């Protein structure tokens, strides 16, 4: 599907989508808990649906309604090989690899689309150290394993992703004893804090002390859990207000004290000189005199696409560090941002760990056609940047936004003047 976005001012009020990160964690905890859990403000995006599918394959029952998801927990599996697809969700694949290892049966977790070429090399060594038989296809999906997972002490390299750390910590709460996970070079530590919060909501305990995470080994219990708003999706709307607003766009449905690393979009907007006013559950945002800014996105790499859209409207050069992590995402985002925004006349250069953007200031992004490369965040970034452009921008494969926010274009249309 091709989607065209034309220049427009933005105003009004938009509610952030539910956090798919919190949703998938809640589904996993509910699947491990005895009893029936109710998850409100649910995410129904493609990544969340992948988590529902894997939870059911491992023995839970998941019933979806418009306003809630009901999970009857209790992991179990019939003899034989359990095969489940994680779609294109990296969190689903890495998280459920550890959770599936609780079962004494053969499990194969498969990947689709770009996820099939993303690394899961961090999974096998840690699981094997805890008694699990595990293999991958040369460090790539599928992940094949057989438990049961034993409690104990294990070391994990967290430099590439915190997603497997999340799954391992969650699973060890059900392994029948106390455990310690020693994490080297933890990336995106805020997502591990989010993991702890969701675990506590379902009765399990884990805490971090420096590089070590201690898991108490207390089982999960059924709970009612409300999913918080997604700062990753909200970042695009906040940037839309900065590049194409007059100060009367509100983005709400967010938790100011969230552990989500992408809450740092507020810091980046302030650094660029955007007009920000804190309101209940969110921010009111406007453009102001935007200037090039420096920002370290090492712990929040999903912010690179909206940050490039923001930098396009700034006067001067913006420097974004942490770009080394972009090459293992849904696309090679460093290359995608450079090449696709280059088609619209924006100079974006990747060198080592840094992405530089030469802002257009009072100039305008050009009209044209870009490819999303099947990456939801590239599609969203192009759509938001186009609001402040000189003409329509057509986005190929624009439907990929359903991975995280199926209602993105509807939300964007609702605030366009």
Pairing of strands 317-321, 275-279: unpaired
CB 291: neighbour CB atoms within 10 A?
16
Q: How many domains does the chain have?
A: 2
Give the confidence band of 363 by pLDDT, cuts at 50, 70, 90: confident
Do 247 and 333 belong together in one domain?
yes
Percent of the chain with pLDDT over 70: 99
Do 379 and 238 belong together in one domain?
yes
Please say if the pLDDT value at position 329 is more than 80: no
Helix (H), strand (E) at residue 98: helix 90-100
CB of 16 within 8 A of CB of 253? yes
**Domain contains 225:** no
pLDDT for 325: 74
pLDDT for 77: 77
107-146 pLDDT, tens digit each? 999 999 989 999 898 899 999 999 999 999 999 999 999 9
Lowest mean pLDDT: which of 29-43, 85-99, 196-210, 328-342? 328-342
Please say if the pLDDT value at position 337 is more than 90: yes
* Set 47, 262, 302, 375: catalytic member: 302
Please say if the pLDDT value at position 310 is more than 90: yes
Read off the tokens for 150.
């034993």
Pairing of strands 347-351, 354-358: antiparallel
Q: What is the DSSP letter of 88?
A: T
Give the confidence band of 189 by pLDDT, cuts at 50, 70, 90: confident
Residues sharing a CB contact under 8 Å with residue 302, sequence separation 6 or more, in sequence order: 232, 262, 329, 377
**Domain contains 258:** yes
CB 111: neighbour CB atoms within 10 A?
24
Percent of the chain with pLDDT over 90: 88
pLDDT for 31: 98
158 vs 315, higher pLDDT? 315
332 vs 171, higher pLDDT? 171
- Of 215, 241, 256, the one marking the end of a domain is 215
- Of 181, 215, 249, the one marking the end of a domain is 215
Do 338 and 382 belong together in one domain?
yes
Do 278 and 204 belong together in one domain?
no
79 vs 117, higher pLDDT? 117
Give the confidence band of 332 by pLDDT, cuts at 50, 70, 90: confident
Between the alpha carbon of residue 340 and those of residues 135, 345, 375, 386, 415, the distances in Å are 37, 9, 12, 12, 25
**Domain contains 160:** yes
Give the confidence band of 397 by pLDDT, cuts at 50, 70, 90: very high
325 vs 333, higher pLDDT? 333
**Domain contains 61:** yes
231-255 pLDDT, tens digit each? 999 999 999 999 999 889 999 999 9
Please say if the pLDDT value at position 335 is more than 80: yes
pLDDT for 282: 98
pLDDT for 122: 87
pLDDT for 143: 97
Give the confidence band of 330 by pLDDT, cuts at 50, 70, 90: low
Please say if the pLDDT value at position 43 is more than 90: yes
Residue-averaged pLDDT of the chain:
95
**Domain contains 221:** no
What average pLDDT does this structure show over 2-26?
97
* H, E, C per residue of 102-117: CCCCEEEEECCHHHHH
Give the confidence band of 324 by pLDDT, cuts at 50, 70, 90: confident
- Exposure b/e, 173-209, CB count within 10 A at least 16 = b: bbbeeebebebeebbbbbbbebbbebbebbebebebe
Lowest mean pLDDT: which of 119-123, 163-167, 294-298? 119-123
Please say if the pLDDT value at position 297 is more than 80: yes
Residue 64: φ, ψ to 5°: -100, 135
Do 241 and 357 belong together in one domain?
yes
Please say if the pLDDT value at position 5 is more than 60: yes
- Domain of 171, CATH number, reads 3.65.10.10
Q: Is 353 a catalytic residue?
A: no
Q: Which residue shows structure tokens 């700062």?
A: 231
**Domain contains 278:** yes
Give the confidence band of 161 by pLDDT, cuts at 50, 70, 90: confident
Do 90 and 182 belong together in one domain?
yes
Specify the pTM: 0.95
pLDDT for 417: 66
Do 297 and 354 belong together in one domain?
yes
Lowest mean pLDDT: which of 45-49, 207-211, 223-227, 280-284? 207-211
Lowest mean pLDDT: which of 101-105, 108-112, 322-326? 322-326
Do 238 and 202 belong together in one domain?
no
CA 303 to CA 318: how far, in whole Å?
Answer: 14
- Exposure b/e, 227-246, CB count within 10 A at least 16 = b: bbbbbbbbbbbbbbbbbbbe
Strand order in the sheet with 61-64: 61-64, 68-72, 36-40, 224-226
Do 133 and 211 belong together in one domain?
yes
Label residue 4 exposed, middle or buried (CB < 10 Å: 0-12, 13-18, 19+).
middle
Helix (H), strand (E) at residue 62: strand 61-64
Do 363 and 311 belong together in one domain?
yes
Three-state secondary structure call for residue 66:
coil
Do 403 and 282 belong together in one domain?
yes
Task: Print the domain residue range for 409.
Answer: 3-17+230-415
Do 237 and 208 belong together in one domain?
no
């Amino acid at each position: 599907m091709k989607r065209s976005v034309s220049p427009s001012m933005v105003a009004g009020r938009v509610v952030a989508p539910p956090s798919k990160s919190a949703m998938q964690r809640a589904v996993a905890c509910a699947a491990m808990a005895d009893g029936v859990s109710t998850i409100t403000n649910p995410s129904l995006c493609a990544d969340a649906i992948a988590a529902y599918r894997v939870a059911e394959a491992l023995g839970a029952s998941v019933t979806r309604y418009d306003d809630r998801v009901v999970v009857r927990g209790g992991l179990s599996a019939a003899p034989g090989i359990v095969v489940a697809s994680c779609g294109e969700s990296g969190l689903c694949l890495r998280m459920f690899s550890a959770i599936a290892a609780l079962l004494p049966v053969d499990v194969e977790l498969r990947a689709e689309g770009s996820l099939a070429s993303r690394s899961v090399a961090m999974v096998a060594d840690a699981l094997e150290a805890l008694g699990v038989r595990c293999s991958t296809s040369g460090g790539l999906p599928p992940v094949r394993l057989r438990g049961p997972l034993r409690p104990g002490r294990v070391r994990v390299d967290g430099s590439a992703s915190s997603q497997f750390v999340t799954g391992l910590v969650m699973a060890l709460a059900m392994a029948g004893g106390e455990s310690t996970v020693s994490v080297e070079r933890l990336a995106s530590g805020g997502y591990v804090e989010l993991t702890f919060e969701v675990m506590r909501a379902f009765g399990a305990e884990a805490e971090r002390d420096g590089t070590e995470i201690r898991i108490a080994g207390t089982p999960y219990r059924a709970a009612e859990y409300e999913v918080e708003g997604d700062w990753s999706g909200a970042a695009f709307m906040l940037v839309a207000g900065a590049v194409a607003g007059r100060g009367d766009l509100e983005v709400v449905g967010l938790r100011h004290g969230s552990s989500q690393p992408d809450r740092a979009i507020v810091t980046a907007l302030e650094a660029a000189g955007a007009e920000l006013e804190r309101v209940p559950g969110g921010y009111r945002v406007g453009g102001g005199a935007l200037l090039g800014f420096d920002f370290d996105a090492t712990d929040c790499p999903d912010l690179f696409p909206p940050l490039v859209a923001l930098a396009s409207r700034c006067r001067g050069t913006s420097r974004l560090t942490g770009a080394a992590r972009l090459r293992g995402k849904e696309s090679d985002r460093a290359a995608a941002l450079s090449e696709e925004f280059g088609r619209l006349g924006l100079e974006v250069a990747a060198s080592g760990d840094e992405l530089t953007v030469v802002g257009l200031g009072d100039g305008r992004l050009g009209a044209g056609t870009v490819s999303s490369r099947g990456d939801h965040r590239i599609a969203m970034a192009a759509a938001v940047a186009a609001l402040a452009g000189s003409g329509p921008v057509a986005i190929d494969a624009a439907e990929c936004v359903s991975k995280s926010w199926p209602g993105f274009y509807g939300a964007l249309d609702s605030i366009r003047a």
